[in-house]
C-alpha cells in the first residue's frame, strides 16, 4: 500500500487497507483483459468452426470410408496455386448413378440440370497480401493433413490450424524452406 501513502499523505493505515482491497482486483482485472487482448492479437488467424454448406457434403464418407485420394477431386493441388473445388460435372461422374435417391444428392442433381454451380462456403482463407501456392508444398511431399487436419474423419470441414504467419514460418524454418518475405507476400 506504499503507493496510496505517497498519493494521499494524510490517509490512515486502515483506510489505505480498505481502499487497497477495493481497487486491487479492479487493476488486476484490467491487466487481465489487456493481456487477453494482446494474446488474441498476437495469435493471429482464428480457428473457426465448420461453416454451413449449401449441400451437406460429407468428407468422412468420400475421403474416409470410400478412401478416395484428395487429388481425385482437388485436381489443381499438384500443379497449381489453388487446390480447386471440383465442378458439379465431376460430382456427377459418380452421382449420376450413385445414391440418387437421397435428398442431398437430389440438390446436387438440381444444380446439374439447371446448369448452375454450387455456391460452397470457403473454409480456408489467407489474407489478400499473401499468395499461398499449393503445388510446391505437395511436391515437397507434405501430406494434406499437415495443414488441413484429418479431413477424412470430418463430416463438416473446419479449419484446424491458425494458418497465421507464425504458423507458416515455424514449418518453413523446420524444413529449411525460404524465409524471405517476398516468397509468400505479394
Partner 1 sequence: MSSAHEASARATAVATLGETIPTDAEVTPLDGRRWGMVIDLDRCTGCQACVVACQAENNIAINEENRVLERRAKTWIRIERYWEGEFPNAKARFIPVLCQHCGNAPCETVCPVWATYHNPEGLNVQVYNRCIGTRFCANGCPYSVRYFNFWNPEWPEPLNNQLNPDVTVRTKGIIEKCTFCLQRINRARVTSKNEDREIADGEVQPACVQSCPTTALVFGDLNDPSTTASRLAESERRYTLLENFGTDPSVVYLKKVDPHVEIDHHHGHHAETAGKHA
User: Which residues lie near partner 1 (CB under 8 A)?
Assistant: 79, 81, 127-129, 131, 133, 135-136, 139, 166, 173, 176-183, 185-186
Q: Shortest Cβ distance from residue 30 to partner 1 (Å)? A: 22
CA–CA separation, 127 and 42 (whole Å): 16
- Dihedral (CA of 15, 17, 21, 26) sign: positive
**Which of residues 102 and 185 has its CB atom nearest to partner 1 in the complex?**
185
Strand partners, 185: 130
Q: Shortest Cβ distance from residue 44 to partner 1 (Å)? A: 12
**Which of residues 101 and 128 has its CB atom nearest to partner 1 in the complex?**
128
CB atoms within 10 A of CB 125: 11
**Which of residues 114 and 176 has its CB atom nearest to partner 1 in the complex?**
176
Cα 74 to the center of its chain, rounded Å: 18
**Which of residues 124 and 158 has its CB atom nearest to partner 1 in the complex?**
124
Phi-psi region for residue 118, left (φ > 0), alpha (ψ -120 to 50) or beta?
A: beta
Q: Shortest Cβ distance from residue 136 to partner 1 (Å)? A: 6
Amino acid at each position: 500500500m506504499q503507493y496510496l501513502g505517497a498519493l494521499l499523505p494524510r490517509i490512515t493505515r486502515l483506510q489505505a487497507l480498505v481502499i487497497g482491497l477495493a481497487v486491487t482486483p479492479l487493476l488486476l482485472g484490467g491487466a487481465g483483459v489487456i493481456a487477453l487482448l494482446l494474446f488474441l492479437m498476437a495469435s493471429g488467424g482464428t480457428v473457426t468452426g465448420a461453416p454451413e454448406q449449401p449441400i451437406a457434403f460429407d468428407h468422412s464418407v468420400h475421403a474416409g470410408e470410400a478412401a478416395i485420394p484428395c487429388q481425385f477431386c482437388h485436381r489443381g493441388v499438384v500443379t497449381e496455386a489453388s487446390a480447386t473445388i471440383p465442378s458439379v460435372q465431376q460430382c456427377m461422374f459418380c452421382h449420376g448413378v450413385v445414391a440418387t435417391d437421397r435428398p442431398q444428392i437430389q440438390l446436387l442433381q438440381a444444380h446439374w440440370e439447371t446448369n448452375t454451380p454450387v455456391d460452397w462456403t470457403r473454409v480456408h482463407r489467407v489474407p489478400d497480401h499473401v499468395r499461398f501456392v499449393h503445388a510446391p508444398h505437395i511436391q515437397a511431399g507434405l501430406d494434406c493433413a499437415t495443414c488441413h487436419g484429418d479431413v477424412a474423419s470430418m463430416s463438416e470441414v473446419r479449419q484446424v490450424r491458425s494458418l497465421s504467419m507464425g504458423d507458416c514460418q515455424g514449418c518453413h524454418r523446420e524444413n529449411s524452406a525460404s524465409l524471405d518475405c517476398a516468397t509468400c507476400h505479394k
